[in-house]
Each structure stands twice: as C-alpha cells, then as structure tokens.
Amino acid sequence: MTRNTVVCNQDNGGVLPTPVPGFGVIGWVEEINGQGAEEVSEFIPTRHELEQLAEYWYTQYLEIERWEDMTQSTGSTELRLKGFATQRVNRIELLIGQEAVDRAYQSAKRSLDSPNESVQQAVSG
C-alpha cells in the first residue's frame, strides 16, 4: 500500500483526503485514511479497550483544541483528526454508553491538565 492508497472505513467518510490538480493531495493522515485506518475484523475489542480508545480519541481532540487556541490557527490535518475523533467517540458511545464515554473524557482532560499544573508549580515555586 502506498501513500496514495486511500483506505475507507466506517468513520472516515467525511474526512478523506482531497486531490488538488497540479499540487497533489490535501488532508492525507495515515491513521485516518492510510494503511493505519484499515479495520481488523478478526479482533473484537473488550469494553475496557473501547473505554481506552474513547480516552485516546478525546485526548487527540483536546490536544488539537489546545494547539488551535494557542496558535489561533488550524490545518487540514487537525480538522480531519478532530472529525475522525468525534466519529470514533460517537460510535463507541453507542456501544458502551454515555457514562463510560464521559469517564473517558474526564480522564483525558485530567491527564492533559496535570502536566500543566506541574509546570506552573515548578515555575512559580
């Protein structure tokens, strides 16, 4: 599989790369539409693993939001990652429920906030 091969899955329909004549492709993100996006039907994740995946995608989303706030900018990769993360979390929520997904969100938020608190304490201390 090459960089130009697009893998379609249940969640990446709205965030596929866009060909631009004379330029190439905009929006190529390996884990969203490259080989990393290939679904593996032979493996069924457990409820715990789905909670971990929800936390992972929330973390990706929140990190991008933080970056966008700091830089006051975004790009096609960030837009695609946020869209894909939203799709994944929404589908996981249908499987394990809102309460479990809410816990994943809180955990992602805590893990992102914790390092900042440590840095602030070190700087002010």
C-alpha 67/C-alpha 115 separation (Å) is: 15
Is the four-CA dihedral 102, 100, 52, 11 of positive or negative sign? negative
Sorted by where each begins, the domain ranges of the chain are: 13-38+46-124
Work out the angle between the directed axes of helices 76-96 and 98-124 (0-180°, nearest 10): 130
Report the share of the chain in percent with pLDDT over 90: 76
What is the pLDDT, as a whole number, of residue 24? 85
**CA end-to-end distance (rounded Å), the chain:** 52
Q: Report whether 57 contacts 88 (CB < 8 A).
A: yes
Per-residue pLDDT tens for 49-88? 999 999 999 999 999 999 999 999 999 999 999 999 999 9
pLDDT of residue 105: 98
Sign of CA dihedral 23, 25, 27, 28: negative
Q: For residue 24, which phi and psi values (nearest 5 degrees)?
A: 130, -130
